Structure 1
Amino acid sequence: MASQNLLNNFTAGIPGHHCYVPNGTSWALDQNISVLEVDAPEMLQVYIPMDTNSKPSKCRRFRKAQWHLVMANMSAVRTHVNFTEAETETCQDGWTYDRTEFDATIVSEWNLVCTLRPLKQMSQTIYMGGVLAGAIIFGGLSDKFGRRALLIWSYFQLATLGTCTAFTNSYLTYCILRFLTGMAVSGVILNSVSLKVEWIPTKSRTVVGTLSSFFFTFGQMILAGVAYQLRDWRKLQVAVCAPYFICFLYSWWFSESARWLILNRRSEDALKQIHRVARINGKPEMVDKITLEVLESNMQKEIQSSKSIYTMYDLLRTRVMRKISVCLMFVWFSTSFAYYGLAMDLQKFGVSIYLIQVIFGAVDIPAKLLAMTSLSFLGRPISQAGCLLLSAAAIFANIFVPSDMQTLRTTFAVLGKGLTSASFTCVYLFTGELYPTVIRQTGMGFSSTMARVGSMAAPAVLILDEFLPTLPSVVYGGSAVVAGVISLFLPETLNVPLPETIDDVEEKWGTQKQTSQTMKETVALQDMKEGEDGKSTGLDAL
């Protein structure tokens, strides 16, 4: 998934460029000047003016060759040049691109520079718009048709359309396919998270959730290596999308969520899946002990609740659900807002884009280990708030670092990005534990929708640096501070069994009367459902 969300850093990288320099030989011969007397950098000065930073302009060229700039001692040239003002024009014949960092990108292919430069950012915004649409569409559909079915379809859509993107010949088609690919990415993330949360035992959920997030980190680092080897955007596009066909094939092996099956009045199918889990985990004796009667008696209240139809309105209808949804809305938005504000413009750091991508990925590992430790011992709200507030501190620190201290500025940016990545680890796990099974996917879809709004808004904030260079950092950091404080109002879910219904949520956290002793008794009861060797018997999935 990391390869998809951060792919634009490489496929839409902006190579060094300047206006195409025409062949000046004929003009030089007319002036009795040998072009062999002038080397390549000096030839560039003849045609390309300097910008305000004393670098060759990227978007303008001289209307007439300025030979006096390199041969001022030649009277033949001096008489034909206006020293006071040299007229310039836009790049009438296209651009010349530096191939040092990239062989080809969508920017160099469709000339998304100068006046068309906003289209480069637009391609990423459109992709994130697809991720947003996928969160809304696939979130609701998976609560209706199941996690496994939507996950399989999402893998297929991602593999097919992602690969086809590499063969498009127009910018419009490219954006359409990226939008649909973004939808599929949302489907994969939401359904894989829900399957993971609904199958993993309570006491193992933190470790498994954090380990899963490490693979996202590894994906960032692998992406940098693949992009370094494949510097043509089409080859890179195929390299990161074609492997999803493998994911599509092995996803058929997954078991559908037993919780979802029971709540959709498919108890017999749920029983088969639980028996399968018991056999895989070396507990075949549980196959005889867990019967259909046992399932239905243990899940009677949940089965009754499944007769109701739930919509997004139910996320806000009751007091505790409304509190949870509003708080998560801010946390998801701010986490994604700060994360993509730091991670989607790697070229601004002044070092190799491939190196900075690896560094960004590497720092995630200790940050997520810290998050896992905090989640296990300090609990969810404190961990979530800590990650957001510390990331805000790193972002604010950069405001006071002089622009010429590039290494220190990059260090603070890397720390901020690592902490926002750890915040993602917390919020994915936290959200899955807060929403009840009957509406978990709808809740995940609603929450991640706000994340996509944040990821779409992040690039737009960078425009503010034209008014005040420090303003984007103030906005990113301020958003993280607000979300960090708000996350402290969310209820604790450490070692608490998953809620199945909305009534469960209201009872668990509505009165705030659940004492630590009650929680210990709940965990002890949960542990009784697990085998002596710690392996899942299948029953704990209930």
Structure 2
Amino acid sequence: MALGGSRPRGRRAAGGWAPCAALALGWALGWALGAEPPHRCRPDAALLPPPLRRLGGPALLRAAVPRLRGGWSPCQLYRYTPGTPGTPRPNGTGPCTRGWHYALPAAGLRANLVTQWDLVCASRWKVPLEQTTHLLGWTLGSVTAGLACDRFGRRPTFLLSLALAVPVGLAVALALNFLMVLVARLLFGAALAGAFLALYVARLELCEPPHRLGVTMVAGVFWIAGELLLPGLALLCRDWRVLQGAVTMILALLAACWWCPALLLESARWLLATQQLERARKTLQALAEDNWPQDSLLTELEALSEGSPQPRYHAVCEIFSTRVIWKNGVILGFAAFIGSGIRHCFTRNLAPHLPHFFSSYLVLVGTEVAACLFVCLTAERFGRRAILLLCTVLTGISSLLLLALTQYLLELIVLTLSVVGTAASHAVTMLSIFFASEVLPTVVRGAGLGLVVGASFVGKAAAPITAIPNSRGFFLHHVVFASFAILAVLSIMLLPESQGRNLPQSLQDGENQRRPPLFRRPPCEDHLPLLSSHGIPHDYSHLAASTKRMLGSLDTPHEM
């Protein structure tokens, strides 16, 4: 996919990249909506003895709110025994009775979900519940959209998901109670996940082998740019309802513009794999007008045009009857789950050193930038499998060292291991998803990739679950994921290498993938099929149609 100087080709490339920024805004929105600002109880004069009720200002605060080492108590008020002679002294504490005073803004907002419904102290568990519900929406949306991609196409699924995100996003902004927020955020996450997955698959299937990684990493840069836009947008909006409405309007504009086929075409690769020849011919003609290289697909179209095949769709259940495809999908889904779930073990060590929302947010986005650059610079040179193995090893070693030696290591070493582990775990997730998109066959790529992406969001749900107050499961969480990381290292070596190879089209193509030696660069059989030295079977039936067309052109007399 050389982007050259052709304006239509540049427009189609931008059509696969620009939506990532808007989708990233919707994804990162939850961090701002659930940010907990510093807070304390409002003094309640009714709880004070009569001599103290006339106090005001700082004196009233000292008499009503306990003082802790880090400031005022966030959840307690003093209690006094009525009728006690002499100077009144508190004899205990109790919960807040008149609400809370918040130190605003929080994450650039003067009001968010926490301040709107007082999701602190006894109600603090509702914030992890909202975050987990939103991640559940992304999981369900990934799986559902994957099935829709393989049955109805990539472009309709993308547009329908965007169209659904607009009314659901408005429902979040206009929510009347917390329950309505939970349901709307669940559906909002599902709609965003559907758009993300459909766009990811459509963009990948448009690329030739040498450009797949670069195009996907550029899309990752647009995603990071969208995350970086969130703090500025929050500072402009100042209220969570306005911020949600602004992101929804951006998605509405995106849906209106991307309805034009000039920005996003249906995947010609999927149309050919499902034998929808007329639609495939129109799509390939549009790509040919833009000088977009799709020679292999044109050859396949000519071969299929000799008969009258009927469209054939494949269900995700067919994956379970395969051996190689099923193995690859399980291993990469497991790796994506580990990379997402173990990340919280590293970010928890960074939290005490990054007390402010913007500092922690920018550090996490910075680790995503580092992971994206590392994968972009190494995965094309050394292969997907080797770099995924390296990142998993780094993740596992960092996790084990922090698990066993945190109390004995210097603080600087702990921070370094946490940053390295955070970046490496994100690289594991990102590369697992990309690797899965290359080894899964076109006929079930949407459904298979949806399961892998869904597994990654299940792993992300570990962070809000362990953040529930009074939760004692963090140590067990760390032990389990560190052990899983070691298991993932062993299983990754069973994967094939997809670097430089054409995407598998059919289930048979996916089953024919073989595991090459780990430290030897595999030959690019797809570019030199007649010179293959490994005896891998190739399908040369496509050469028949090209040969007939060439012979026909030689027999045609030329006019002088």
State the TM bucket, normalised to the shorter chain: 0.7 to 0.9
Matched, 1:326 2:330: yes
Q: Which whole-Å CA distance do the structure 2 matches of 1:291 and 1:116 have between them?
A: 57
For 1:14-163, list aligned pairs within 5 A. 14-23=36-45, 31=51, 35=55, 40=58, 42-50=59-67, 55-64=71-80, 79-82=86-89, 86-101=91-106, 102-163=109-170
Q: Partner residue of 2:277?
A: 267
Residue-by-residue CA offset, 1:213-263 (whole Å, 9 max, x unaligned): 122222222223323444422222223332112221232221101122223
Q: Partner residue of 1:535?
A: none
- Contact kept? 1:131, 1:182, Cα under 8 Å: yes
Matched, 1:352 2:360: no
Question: Which moves more between the two structures, 340-349 or 199-208?
Answer: 340-349
Q: Which whole-Å CA distance do the structure 2 matches of 1:478 and 1:301 have between them?
A: 54
Q: Which whole-Å CA distance do the structure 2 matches of 1:106 and 1:465 have between them?
A: 21
- Contact kept? 1:464, 1:471, Cα under 8 Å: no
The correspondence for 1:382, drawn from 386, 392, 395, is 386
**Consecutive unaligned residues in structure 1, runs of 5 or more:** 67-75, 527-538
The correspondence for 1:424, drawn from 417, 425, 429, is 429
Q: Which whole-Å CA distance do the structure 2 matches of 1:113 and 1:464 have between them?
A: 10
For 1:446-485, list aligned pairs within 5 A. 446-462=451-467, 467=472, 470-485=475-490
For 1:98-497, list aligned pairs within 5 A. 98-101=103-106, 102-252=109-259, 253=261, 254-281=264-291, 294-299=299-304, 307=312, 309-339=313-343, 349-399=353-403, 400-401=405-406, 409-462=414-467, 467=472, 470-497=475-502
Secondary structure of 1:509's counterpart equals coil
CA displacement at 1:100 relative to structure 2: 4.3
Q: Which whole-Å CA distance do the structure 1 matches of 2:506 and 2:307 have between them?
A: 7
Residue-by-residue CA offset, 1:281-306 (whole Å, 9 max, x unaligned): 278xx9xx9998x5444458999796
Q: Partner residue of 2:16?
A: none
- Contact kept? 2:205, 2:267, Cα under 8 Å: yes
Do the aligned partners of residues 403 and 458 (structure 1) sit closer, same or farther apart at CA in structure 2, a change above 3 Å counting?
farther
Q: Which whole-Å CA distance do the structure 1 matches of 2:521 and 2:413 have between them?
A: 48
- Contact kept? 1:47, 1:64, Cα under 8 Å: no
Secondary structure of 2:94's counterpart equals strand
Do the aligned partners of residues 438 and 340 (structure 1) sit closer, same or farther apart at CA in structure 2, a change above 3 Å counting?
farther
CA displacement at 1:207 relative to structure 2: 0.9
Q: Which whole-Å CA distance do the structure 1 matches of 2:361 and 2:393 have between them?
A: 23
CA displacement at 1:352 relative to structure 2: 1.9
CA RMSD of aligned residues (A): 3.7
Question: Which moves more between the two structures, 406-415 or 186-195?
Answer: 406-415
How does the TM-score come out when normalised to structure 2?
0.80
- Contact kept? 2:332, 2:452, Cα under 8 Å: yes
Question: Which moves more between the two structures, 322-331 or 259-268?
Answer: 259-268
Question: Which moves more between the two structures, 406-415 or 474-483?
Answer: 406-415
- Contact kept? 1:159, 1:243, Cα under 8 Å: no
Counterpart AA for 2:78: F
CA displacement at 1:279 relative to structure 2: 1.2
CA displacement at 1:525 relative to structure 2: 6.1
- Contact kept? 1:8, 1:124, Cα under 8 Å: yes
Q: Which whole-Å CA distance do the structure 2 matches of 1:248 and 1:216 have between them?
A: 17
Aligned length: 503
Do the aligned partners of residues 47 and 291 (structure 1) sit closer, same or farther apart at CA in structure 2, a change above 3 Å counting?
closer
Q: Partner residue of 1:5?
A: 27
Secondary structure of 1:61's counterpart equals strand
**Consecutive unaligned residues in structure 2, runs of 5 or more:** 1-22, 531-545, 547-560
Counterpart AA for 1:44: L
Do the aligned partners of residues 489 and 302 (structure 1) sit closer, same or farther apart at CA in structure 2, a change above 3 Å counting?
farther
Do the aligned partners of residues 302 and 17 (structure 1) sit closer, same or farther apart at CA in structure 2, a change above 3 Å counting?
farther
Counterpart AA for 2:220: S
- Contact kept? 1:47, 1:65, Cα under 8 Å: no
CA displacement at 1:401 relative to structure 2: 4.2
Secondary structure of 1:18's counterpart equals strand
Q: Partner residue of 1:529?
A: none
CA displacement at 1:398 relative to structure 2: 4.2
Do the aligned partners of residues 473 and 200 (structure 1) sit closer, same or farther apart at CA in structure 2, a change above 3 Å counting?
same
Q: Which whole-Å CA distance do the structure 1 matches of 2:52 and 2:194 have between them?
A: 67
The correspondence for 2:511, drawn from 498, 506, 509, is 506
- Contact kept? 2:354, 2:360, Cα under 8 Å: no
Do the aligned partners of residues 462 and 120 (structure 1) sit closer, same or farther apart at CA in structure 2, a change above 3 Å counting?
closer
CA displacement at 1:348 relative to structure 2: 5.2
Residue-by-residue CA offset, 1:279-334 (whole Å, 9 max, x unaligned): 11278xx9xx9998x54444589997964x53222222122122112212211211
Question: Which moves more between the two structures, 466-475 or 103-112?
Answer: 466-475
Counterpart AA for 2:55: V
Do the aligned partners of residues 462 and 406 (structure 1) sit closer, same or farther apart at CA in structure 2, a change above 3 Å counting?
farther
Counterpart AA for 1:63: R
Q: Partner residue of 2:537?
A: none
Counterpart AA for 2:64: Y
Identity of aligned residues (%): 24
Q: Which whole-Å CA distance do the structure 2 matches of 1:211 and 1:150 have between them?
A: 22
CA displacement at 1:393 relative to structure 2: 3.4
Counterpart AA for 1:59: C
Residue-by-residue CA offset, 1:394-443 (whole Å, 9 max, x unaligned): 44444444599877655543333222222233122211111101111110
The correspondence for 2:527, drawn from 487, 504, 523, is 523
- Contact kept? 1:225, 1:354, Cα under 8 Å: no
